[in-house]
Amino acid sequence: MTHSKELLLSFNRSWKEVSAAWKKARTKTSEEAVHDLRVGTRRLIAMLDMTQALSKDNHILKLRRRFKKVLKRMGPLRDLQVQLGTVSRLRQAGLVEDFRRTLERRERRAVDKIRKELMKPAKRRLAAGVKDVRSEFTRVQQKINDAAIQRSLERTLKARRNDFLAARRRFQPADENTLHKMRIALKKYRYSVEAALPVLDKSAKERARHMQAFQKLLGDTRDVELLRAELERWAAKRGKKIAAVPVLDRLTQKREDLLKKINDSAASFEHVPESEKPRPVMESTHAAGAVPNVENPRLEMETATKPKPN
């Protein structure tokens, strides 16, 4: 199967996953449902980036912006649900219980807002945009050969890799902003690799799993800091800052432990291969003379919970 057909099939699968997650999130709006919709949306955006590299059609850019808005609107609810999950694991007494109830009230308001955002008219507009982009992709694949697609993929993956490594070099444990930028750059790199998996070397799938684990570690660290900052603001507003000190100290210590793991693990990414190599056209295995498989450094890390794809 040609690269163009494989990418088109991947694009169709991505939209199908988003459609299913959208329906689930509109009816349940649970943490898992919101998570699945956000992940599916990021994957579809990565597919649109790949398509945009092959065609400058305005429909692609417009659809990408619409999906970015979906992500942005779901962000506050996602943060609240993660914070509630962390708080629920703390000792439920006094100050912590009061704070949890505050978060639950905020979550209910955020859920009502998101359900309105996920109504059928919004979904239909996205579906129409997907149809237009699919038509453009079909038109492009008839004009562009596999060699051109391969070069486009290599440029996209190399750019994402370089952006991540630049953010990695700028990372400072004491600067939350640098951690956030490194996490965003890694997300874009990982989802670009996943979007291109149908036509990439087999080693890319293993690499994507390592990136997913490291991304979760970065996300956990940022979530702990967001929770600590939110609890500190809430306690100060209610004159309970002193009472909150023990909990704030525990969260600070947890963040420091996670930062140490980040420093230990991030070094493994300093020698990332230049790009995940697309496999030879029309070949399912490496033949003599093909690009050799590059051994990927493994990330050794411990996580309190099994990593979710995110």
Smallest Cα–Cα separation from 123: which of 185, 42, 41?
41
* Structure token digits, residue 298: 């493994």
Residue 74 lies in a domain: yes
- Provide the pLDDT for residue 39: 93
Any idea which residue has 């092959």 for tokens? 54
Contact 214, 186 (CB under 8 A): yes
Mark whether 117 and 236 lie in a shared domain.
no
Report in angstroms the alpha-carbon separations of 240 from 1, 91, 133, 232.
Answer: 64, 17, 53, 9
Mark whether 255 and 180 lie in a shared domain.
yes
Any idea which residue has 């603001």 for tokens? 233
- Provide the pLDDT for residue 275: 52
Mark whether 117 and 8 lie in a shared domain.
yes
> Rounded distance, CA 177 to CA 187, Å?
15
- Provide the pLDDT for residue 306: 42
Residue 186 lies in a domain: yes
Look at residues 144, 160, 183 and tell me which one is the last residue of a structural domain: 144
- Provide the pLDDT for residue 220: 95
- Provide the pLDDT for residue 295: 32
pLDDT tens readout for residues 196-255: 888 888 888 888 999 999 999 999 999 999 999 999 999 999 999 999 999 999 999 999
Residue 23 lies in a domain: yes
Q: What is the CATH number of the domain that holds 221?
A: 1.40.20.10
Residue 306 lies in a domain: no
> Rounded distance, CA 129 to CA 60, Å?
8
Contact 17, 143 (CB under 8 A): no
Mark whether 38 and 110 lie in a shared domain.
yes
Mark whether 54 and 119 lie in a shared domain.
yes
Indicate the number of domains in the chain: 2
Contact 35, 78 (CB under 8 A): yes
Mark whether 138 and 150 lie in a shared domain.
no
> Rounded distance, CA 265 to CA 214, Å?
7
Any idea which residue has 């990695």 for tokens? 168
Structural domain range at position 255: 146-280
Residue 49 lies in a domain: yes
Contact 247, 196 (CB under 8 A): no
| Regions in the chain scoring below 70 on pLDDT | 92, 267-310
- Provide the pLDDT for residue 278: 66
Partners of residue 156 on adjacent β-strands: none
Partners of residue 278 on adjacent β-strands: 200
Q: Could you tell me which residues come within 8 angstroms of residue 127 by beta carbon, excluding any fewer than 6 positions away?
A: 19
Residue 302 lies in a domain: no
Mark whether 153 and 54 lie in a shared domain.
no
Mark whether 126 and 187 lie in a shared domain.
no
Look up the pTM and report it.
Answer: 0.81
> Other C-beta atoms within 10 Å of 117: how many?
14
How many helices (H) and strands (E) the chain has is answered by: 9, 0
> Rounded distance, CA 299 to CA 293, Å?
18
> Rounded distance, CA 65 to CA 67, Å?
5
Any idea which residue has 């919004």 for tokens? 122
Look at residues 89, 111, 144 and tell me which one is the last residue of a structural domain: 144
- Provide the pLDDT for residue 291: 30
Mark whether 164 and 118 lie in a shared domain.
no
> Rounded distance, CA 251 to CA 144, Å?
53
Residue 227 lies in a domain: yes
Residue 266 lies in a domain: yes
Mark whether 60 and 140 lie in a shared domain.
yes
Mark whether 120 and 24 lie in a shared domain.
yes
Kindly provide the b/e burial profile for residues 125-143, where b requires at least 16 CB atoms within 10 angstroms of the residue's own CB. Answer: ebeebbeebbebbeebbee
Mark whether 29 and 140 lie in a shared domain.
yes
